[in-house]
Amino acid sequence: MSMGAAAAFMVTGPATKITNLGAVKIVLGARNFLLYLAFALLSALAAGFVVDFVF
C-alpha cells in the first residue's frame, strides 16, 4: 500500500463510521449530510494524491 492510500484511508476511516454517519445525518439533515460525505471523500482523495506526489 502506498503512503497516499494509507493517508486517504486514515482520513476516511473516522469520517465514515456508521455510528458517526447516523449522528451527522440527524444533526445536519439529508442535504448537508450528502455534502459532508462528498467533502470527506474528496478531501481524502486530495490528501492521498498530495502525500503520493510529495513523498
Residue 1 DSSP code? -
Domain positions in the chain are 3-54
pLDDT, mean of each 10-residue run, the chain (55 residues): 94 91 95 96 95 92
Compute, in degrees rounded to 10, the torsion defined by CA atoms 18, 30, 46, 44.
Answer: -10
Residue tagged 465514515 (cell numbers): 16
